[in-house]
Structure 1
Amino acid sequence: MLPPTFSPTASASASPPPPRPIPGSHGPPVIGALRDRLDYFWFQSQDEFFRRRAASNRSTVFRTNIPPTFLGVDPRVIAIVDAAAFTALFDSALVDKRDILIGPYNPGPGFTGGTRVGVYLDTDEPDHERVKSFAISLLHRSAPRWPSVLRSSVDAMLDSVDSDLAAGGGDSPSVNYIVPMQQCIFRFLCKALVGADPSVDWVVDRFGFTILDIWLALQILPTQKVGVIQPLEELLIHSFPLPSFLISPGYNILYRFVEKHGAEAVELAGKEHGIGEKDAIHNLLFVLGFNAFGGFSVFLPFLVAKIGDTGSSELRRRLREEVRAVLRARRAGDEEDDDGGEFGFKDVRGSMPLVRSTVYEMLRMQPPVPLQFGRARKDFVLRSHGDAAFQVAKGEVLCGYQPLAMRDPEVFDRPEEFVPERFLGEEGAKLLQHLYWSNGPETSQPAAGNKQCAAKEVVVDTACMLVAELFRRYDDFEVEGTSFTKLVKRQPAPSLSPATAGAKQ
C-alpha cells in the first residue's frame, strides 16, 4: 500500500494549512544521483524504488533523482505517486511538456530525421496544434477500416501460432507469441494509419517491425534495465545517449516506404494542416512506431498473458460467455450487422462490458508508459489528498509514476489486486476519472490543445477486439510467460436439422 500523505488535521471551519516544503533529498552532487541510479536499475525494482522513498519520506510527493545521469542532464525530479497530485501533470497552465516525453533526458531529433515531432512540442508552441490535429485526422480517416484490418491481421497471427503449436508436438508444446504479435501489430498499423500494405515491399514486410524495435530501443534504453552483466550495462548503455546513426539506414527504409506508399496520408497533412512533406512523414512514422507500435507491443502481451494465466480460468469462462452471447445475437439477427457478421468497434464499446472493464483494469495495473513528466511553468501549489499541499518552484521537473498513482488506496479498493470487473456499472464508471494511462483521465478527450494520447479510444477498442477475437476463435487458451501452451479451437455450432429448422420457422 502507498503511505498516506501526512499533513496537519484542520477543522471544517479552519482555512487550509499553508503548503509545506517537499520532503526528500537529491543527495550530494554526482554521488546522490549515482546512488539513486543504481537503486533504480539494480538494487531495487522500479516499483520498489518509488515505494521505498514514499515510505521513508512518509509522503506521496517527494524529491529524488531519476535515471539517466548523463553529463548535461539534470536528474533531479519531484516524484508523484498518488492519484490526486498526479492530475497536475495534465494541467497545461501549470506544466510545460517541451522536450520531456521520457524525462529530463531527450533522445534528440536525430531519431526523427531532424524534425521535432509532435510529442516533444508543448501546447504553447504553434506547431503543436497542427501536428496534433493531423494525428487526430489520421485516426478519423482510418476508423472505418481499422476493425477489418485488425481482424485480418489477428487471424494471420493466430493461424501462424496454431501451425507452430501443432508442429511442436511433444508432451508440453508451447509457442512464443511475441514475434507473431509484433508482426501483426506492424502490418495492421501500416494498413490502418499509413494506408499502405507492407507486403508491397518485402524488406519492410519482413523486417519493418525489427527496425522499429531497434529504433525504439536506442531511444529508451538509457532509461531501462536490460539485465546484462555489470558493469557493462552501466558503462555502455546508461552512461551516454545512444547514437541515432546506428538505425538511420533502417529508418530511411521506412521513410521511403511512407513517402512512396502513404501519399494520401502525407497529402492530408499538407492540404488540411499546413505541414510539409518531410515533417509529415517523420511525424507519421513517430505515431506509427513510438506511440502505436511501441505502446501496443508493451501492453497487448501483458493483457494476453494475464487472461491466459492458469489462475484465470474463471475469468476466461466469463469473457468467453460474453463474447459468444454477442455472436449469438448477431446470428439471430438481433443486432444490425455492420461488419459482415464479425466484431466491430460498436460491439466492444456497448455489448461487452466485462471485456472492456478487463482492458481498463490491465491499463491500470500495467500502463504502457509508466512515467509521465512535466516542467513547472511557474511557482504553484501542488495539492494532494485532503489538505496536503506542497510548494513547487518554476522550472522544477515533476515525475508521475502511474503504476502507484493508479493503485492509490484513497481511490481504489483492493488497489494491488487485479479485479476484472472493477470498472463495471455506475460506480465503476466513476473510477475512470482516475485512469491516467493516456496522459489524461479516461473521462476526458484528446484535443489539439492538450497532450492526451490522440488514439486513446482506439487503443482501448483495439485491445477489446483482440480479446473478443481470441474467444471467437478459441474455447480456451493458456499462456505461460510469453508463450501459448494450450489453444482449444472453438467447436462449430451444430447445424439445424430440417425438422428443427422447420419448427423454428
Structure 2
Amino acid sequence: MLCICSSKITFPSPIPPPSSSSAVVQQPVRQIPGSYGLPLLGPLKDRLDYFWFQGQDKFFRSRLTSHKSTVYRTNIPPTFPFFLGIDPRIIAVLDCASFSALFDPSLVDKRNVLVGSYMPSTRFTGDTRVSVYLDTTEPRHARVKSFCFDLLRRSSAVWFSSFLHYLDKMLLGVETELSKNSSSNFFVPLQKCIFAFLCKSLVGVDTSVSQEIEDSGFSMLDKWLLLQLLPTVGTPALPQPLTEIFLHSFPFPFFLVAGDYRKLFNFVAENGSEVVQLAVTEYGIGKEEAIHNILFLLGFNAFGGFSVFLPDLITTIGRDKTGLKERLREEVRSHIKDENGNLGFEEIKGMELVRSTVYEVLRLNPPVPMQFGRAREDFELNSYGVRYPVKKGELLCGYQPLAMRDPTVFERPEEFVPERFLGEEGKGLLKYLFWSNGPETTQPTTDNKQCAAKEHVVATACLLVAEMFRRYDDFDCGDGMTFTKLERASPVVAREP
C-alpha cells in the first residue's frame, strides 16, 4: 500500500501553464531524456533500484529530478532472468498533461498491459483473457464490459444496504476486541466485510451458504491476487537480497492457488446462476467465460481495490489532528433526517466535505498506482511546453502518485487538503483526478478502459465515512491498520445493525 509521502517533488522549472490548442502546434519537439542502459545490466540495475536501493516512489522521483523532465525513459520490473518475452523498457509520464494520453484510445492500445509488459498467466483466469486485458478495439471488450455495467446496475438495489449490514457486523467485532485491548487491527475484518458484501451485491448470494467460503473466501482471493502481482510489487516478506532472488526473479505458477480458485469458481457457478445466465442469454458470453469475468471483477477490481483504498481512507481520517473529524461529523449528522438514523444515496450526495475528502485520499494514494498503454502508431506526446516523439509499440507508464502531485495543477500538492475539491474551483480540479483509469469528470463506456464501477467506488467510500460518523462521536487510528479509540455516538443517531 502506498503511504502519503511528505517529501517534495522537484518538477522541471519553470513549468508554463497548460497551453491552448492553437499554441500546442508551436510547442518545440524534444527527444525523450533517459536511457535503458546496457542489455541485461541496465534493466537489472533499474530493478534493484526499484525494489531494493530506492523503492518505487524514490525510483520515479530521482529520475524525474536527474532528467529535469516529467517524461523520460527507464526500465521497470519484472526483468532478468526468468521472464521470457518481457520488455522492461517504458516511457514514464509523470505530469497531468502527458498522463492524459493514457486515456485516449486513438493513441494507446491497452491489450494485455494491465501491469505493464508482464502479464500473469491466463491460467489464473481459467485460460480466459478477461475484460481488463482486452483492448477497446476487440469485439469481446464491448460485450463483457456491457455485462459488467448490467451487473452493477442490478446490484444497485442492494449495494448500500448490504455494505452497511456487513460493516455493522465488522464494527461490532472490532468494538468487542477494542474493549479488551488497547488497539484492534481492522484489516482482516474489513476484508471479510468487503468480500461478503461484494458476493451479495454482484453474485446475489450470502457467503453463509458455504462455511468455507464465508470463513476463507477473502484469503483465497488474497493469495490469488498476490501470486499474480508479486513479481511487480515490493514486499517486506523476506530481507534483501532474498526477496530479489526468490520473489522477483520468476513468475509464480497457478497450481499454487488452483484449488482455491476452483472453490471460488464453483461457488459462483452454483449460487450465481441468475447473473451467469444473464451473460449467456443477453450478451452471448459463454458460461465459463462469464464466471471468470465475474470473479475478476469481484476479486481483482473490486475486492483488491477496496482492500487498498478503504484502509487508507479510514487511517487518514483517524490520524488527522486538524479538526477534520469534527467537521465531517457535523456535516454527516446534519444530513441524517431519518429518525432511525438511516443512510442512503440521498443522504450522502449532499455531503460535500465527505466527498472531497474521499477524492483527496484517492489523489494522494490511488489504489492502482500505475497505468499503461502501448502506442498504436507514431505520435507526439504533449507535456507542458514541449512535445515528445513516441514510436509505435513503445510502452507508456503513468505513475499516478507523482502525476497527482503535479504543482502546475494542484496547490500544496504534497499536502492532504480535504477541502481541495470543494466549490466551483475545486470541482474544476476533478478533470485531473485520474484514479479510475480516466478523469473523474468522464464516464466509463464500452469505448474506453475507465473503471466500470467508478461511481460505486466513490459512493461506497462516502457511505463508509458517513457511517463512521453516524455511529461514533470520535475514532482514532494508530500505527498500521488499527483502531485505538471508537467512541460510540449518543442514542439519537444510533441504529441497530
Provide TM-score, normalisation by structure 1.
Answer: 0.92
Listed one character per residue, the Cα deviations across residues 160-184 of structure 1 (whole Å, up to 9, x for unaligned) are 101111122xxxx100000000000
Q: Determine the structure 2 residue equivalent to 1:156.
A: 169
Alignment pair present for 1:63 and 2:61: no
Q: CA deviation at 1:5?
A: 6.9
Alignment pair present for 1:81 and 2:86: no
Larger Rg: 1
**Counterparts in 2 of 1:115 and 1:401: CA distance versus 1, 3 Å:** same
Q: What CA distance in whole angstroms lies between the structure 2 residues aligned with 1:239 and 1:395? A: 25
Is the 2:471–2:493 Cα contact (8 Å) retained in structure 1?
no
Gaps of 5+ in 1: 332-339, 496-505
Q: CA deviation at 1:48?
A: 1.0
Alignment of 1:31-430 (within 5 A): 31-69=41-79, 70-168=83-181, 173-227=182-236, 228-309=238-319, 311-312=320-321, 314-327=323-336, 329-331=337-339, 341-349=341-349, 351-385=350-384, 387-430=385-428
SS in 2 for 1:145: helix
Is the 1:6–1:58 Cα contact (8 Å) retained in structure 2?
no
Is the 1:40–1:46 Cα contact (8 Å) retained in structure 2?
yes
SS in 2 for 1:50: helix
Q: CA deviation at 1:345?
A: 2.0
Q: CA deviation at 1:229?
A: 1.7
Q: CA deviation at 1:268?
A: 1.1
Q: CA deviation at 1:475?
A: 0.4
Amino acid at match of 1:479: C
Q: Determine the structure 1 residue equivalent to 2:6.
A: none
Q: In the comparison of the two structures, how many residue pairs are matched? A: 479
Amino acid at match of 1:375: R
Aligned-pair identity in percent equals 58
Q: CA deviation at 1:144?
A: 1.2
Is the 2:90–2:394 Cα contact (8 Å) retained in structure 1?
yes
Listed one character per residue, the Cα deviations across residues 169-224 of structure 1 (whole Å, up to 9, x for unaligned) are xxxx1000000000000000000011111100001000000000000000001011
Q: What CA distance in whole angstroms lies between the structure 2 residues aligned with 1:282 and 1:133? A: 15
Is the 1:63–1:76 Cα contact (8 Å) retained in structure 2?
yes
Is the 2:382–2:388 Cα contact (8 Å) retained in structure 1?
yes
Q: Determine the structure 2 residue equivalent to 1:482.
A: 481
Q: What CA distance in whole angstroms lies between the structure 1 residues aligned with 2:23 and 2:422? A: 37
Q: Determine the structure 1 residue equivalent to 2:462.
A: 464
Q: What CA distance in whole angstroms lies between the structure 1 residues aligned with 2:395 and 2:230? A: 21
**Counterparts in 2 of 1:278 and 1:15: CA distance versus 1, 3 Å:** closer
Amino acid at match of 1:49: F
Q: What CA distance in whole angstroms lies between the structure 1 residues aligned with 2:207 and 2:271? A: 9
SS in 1 for 2:157: coil
RMSD: 1.9
Is the 1:5–1:60 Cα contact (8 Å) retained in structure 2?
no
Q: What CA distance in whole angstroms lies between the structure 2 residues aligned with 1:415 and 1:159? A: 37
Gaps of 5+ in 2: 1-8
> Which structure 1 residue ranges, 4+ long, deviate > 4 Å from structure 2?
5-15
**Counterparts in 2 of 1:4 and 1:301: CA distance versus 1, 3 Å:** same
Listed one character per residue, the Cα deviations across residues 55-103 of structure 1 (whole Å, up to 9, x for unaligned) are 1111100000011102321100000000000000000000000000011
Q: What CA distance in whole angstroms lies between the structure 1 residues aligned with 2:203 and 2:332? A: 30
Listed one character per residue, the Cα deviations across residues 25-72 of structure 1 (whole Å, up to 9, x for unaligned) are 111111111111111111113111111101111110000001110232
